[in-house]
Every structure is written in C-alpha cells, then in structure tokens.
Amino acid sequence: MSEKIQFQSDTYVLKRYPNTNDKSLKAWSNAEIMVLEYCKNKTTNNIHLFNDRFGVWNCLLHKKRPITVCTYASQQKSIEQNIELNELITETVFKTPLDTLNKVDLALIKIPKSLELFELFLKQIHESANEETEVVCGFMLKYFSPSFLKVASVYFDSVTQTKAWRKARLLILKKPKKETPKKDLLNTIRWKGKELKQYYGVFSSGKIDVGTQFFLEDLKILEKEKKVLDLASGNGVIGYEITRLQPDVSLTLVDDFNLAIASSRLNLPKEKTSFICAENLKALKGENFDLVVSNPPFHFEHENNIEITLSLFKEVKDCLKENGRFLVVSNVHLNYRTHLSKLFKKVNVVSMSAKFVIYECY
C-alpha cells in the first residue's frame, strides 16, 4: 500500500518496506511531520537524520542532501525504495551509529523506542557538534517518558519541549555540553563464565532474555548438525551457546539491526562465523543448513506485527536441507504452531512453560 504526502507544493508517494497488509500501519507519523514543519525554512547545512524508518525525511528533504544514520537493513531498503519510487535525483549517504560523523549542524531524530539507542544517537551527534548545533527530536506523546529528557540533558545544556500537535511533540536540544561522561555505550552480560558484549539498543540489555534462557536450558545439538543458522541473532548468545556444545560447527548469524550484528562480532570467533545484516533470508536460499535456530522478533519498535516473522518462517524452509531441523522459541500466546504446521511436515513441542514454548520443525 502506498500513500501520498504533500510538502512545500510537491507531492510524494511513500511505501513501507517490508510491505504490510495491516492498513493501520503507516510510513510516517505526526511526529515526523511536526519535525518537517519545524525545519522547513531552515537553511542549515550538514543535516543528519536518525531513525527515518521508512524514508519520509529522506524524500521530503532530499534537496538538502541529508546524511542518514541507518540502523536496520530493512530501513535502508525502504529509504532506497521510496527515493526510487519518487524518481528523486539524490545520492543517499548512509552511516551507522558507530561511525564518526563529519560535522553536524542540524540533527533530526524520530525518538526510538529504546532509550539506550536514543543515547547512542545523542553521543554520536555530540561528538561532531558545534556551539550552533540543534537537535530536533519528534515523538508521539503516548510513547514518551521523562527518562528521554534526563538523557538529553546529559549531552545538551538547553532541552525544551514544544506544544503538542496532533498527539505529537518536539524536544529541541541546543548548546552541547562542554563535558559529558566518558563511557562506552556498550553493555556487558555475564553468561556461563563469559562476558558477552552488546551495544546500547540491542535486544534485552543488561541480561539474557528469559525466553532465550528457556530456549538454551535444554538445547541439544545432534552430532550431524554442523552447519547452523541463528536467525534474528541479536548479540549472538544462541550462536555462542551452540559453539560451546558443538565446537566444530559452522555458524551463520542474521539480524536486521546493524548494532546487533556489530555486537555479535564482539562475541563470536570470526573464523567460523558469517555475520549477515539482513531482514530476510533470500541470500541464503538453497544453503542447506542442518539446523536453524531462532528467537524471532514479533514487534518492531512500538508495532506488534507477526507478518515479518511469518515471512521469515517461510524463508527458513528454503534454506534448510531435507530432514533439517528448525528450532524456534516463542511466547505461548503467539500460537505459531498453526503457522508452522502449514509450512513444515512435522512440528513437535520440545518444551513448554506457562509463558514460552519451543517448537521443533522438520
């Protein structure tokens, strides 16, 4: 589904990627529109965009040649798709949250769900800021918490809020602090004698997720399972556990989030692991994995949507070898069994608690 949006006498068409059948999900929110209205007459250069999830800012501000700090493989595709759809002549520049930026005069942030990721963005901006730098953060009121103000005031002396407009509001940050805490935005999690690292914003900060722990409790790898894929790998903890159980395994990790992949690179040996930042398994079709394991996503930012998970399940089928296994953990209430049974010949329940279930599919 595509939608039209008007800005400064031009009309643009925007589509979400991945596509969705849920008509309530849009390619932009009032928070992004409010940021655009606030900035439309600014003549500032060196504009940087953060969390422009589907590309509305990239398209509508393309004449200003902004730089995008991109976090998801799917986000980059969505931006590129919308630039092409609107036949815009612009060369999109993508950076990651771990890159050093040249000079930031104006930064636009759609405040992410993760407070840690917000902090990572602010730290990155602060490192390349000057006295005149302004940061305009848009958010929907229902998702806001005072913790965002607290973090903002660690990096900026002036933190103000605008009035609300259509359930959205802006946070305006000016005057970068002269001194900020010297800390790496990296969490350390103790796990079975090892210290796993993960960048701020990566799934389940501070501890291994309870669903993941449930999955790992009784995980058994068969002797013949040497080629393994960890789908939606996060910090790589499941892959790490597999290499403990089966040291000569060849492992592939896939995650849509570039900071998740960057974190797993810190936790797993490079020689025997392939790290892939992607939102689908198209590049792995026909790879004949012996085993695919996953604690899959079921929400994206504030949206609960299992369409993406179901399309990943379909793709798992195409990269497993004949008689290969797919082990997946999920919340019981999601009832994935119905969906998995349509795709796989055999679906067993390996283990179940009041909250979680592990399915084994052949």
Ligand X SMILES: C[S@@+](CC[C@H](N)C(=O)[O-])C[C@H]1O[C@@H](n2cnc3c(N)ncnc32)[C@H](O)[C@@H]1O
Which residues contribute to the site for ligand X (CB under 6 A)? 203-204, 209, 212, 232-235, 237-238, 254-257, 260, 279, 295, 297, 308, 312
Shortest reach from residue 287's CB to ligand X, in Å: 15
Give the nearer residue to ligand X in terms of CB position, either 128 or 212.
212
Give the nearer residue to ligand X in terms of CB position, either 112 or 297.
297
The amino acid that residue 335 corresponds to is N
Instruction: Name, in order, each residue with C-beta under 8 angstroms of 137's C-beta and a sequence gap of 6 or more.
Output: 35, 108, 109, 110, 111, 148, 152, 170, 171, 172, 173
d(CA 113, CA 201): 9
Give the nearer residue to ligand X in terms of CB position, either 57 or 240.
240
Using Cβ positions, the residue closest to ligand X within the complex turns out to be: 234
Shortest reach from residue 44's CB to ligand X, in Å: 32
d(CA 108, CA 77): 20
Give the nearer residue to ligand X in terms of CB position, either 5 or 229.
229
Shortest reach from residue 173's CB to ligand X, in Å: 27
Shortest reach from residue 235's CB to ligand X, in Å: 6
Shortest reach from residue 52's CB to ligand X, in Å: 17
Nearest 5 degrees, angle CA 51-CA 307-CA 327? 105
Give the nearer residue to ligand X in terms of CB position, either 78 or 295.
295
Shortest reach from residue 218's CB to ligand X, in Å: 15
Give the nearer residue to ligand X in terms of CB position, either 209 or 287.
209
Shortest reach from residue 332's CB to ligand X, in Å: 15
Give the nearer residue to ligand X in terms of CB position, either 173 or 260.
260
Give the nearer residue to ligand X in terms of CB position, either 57 or 356.
356
Shortest reach from residue 57's CB to ligand X, in Å: 21
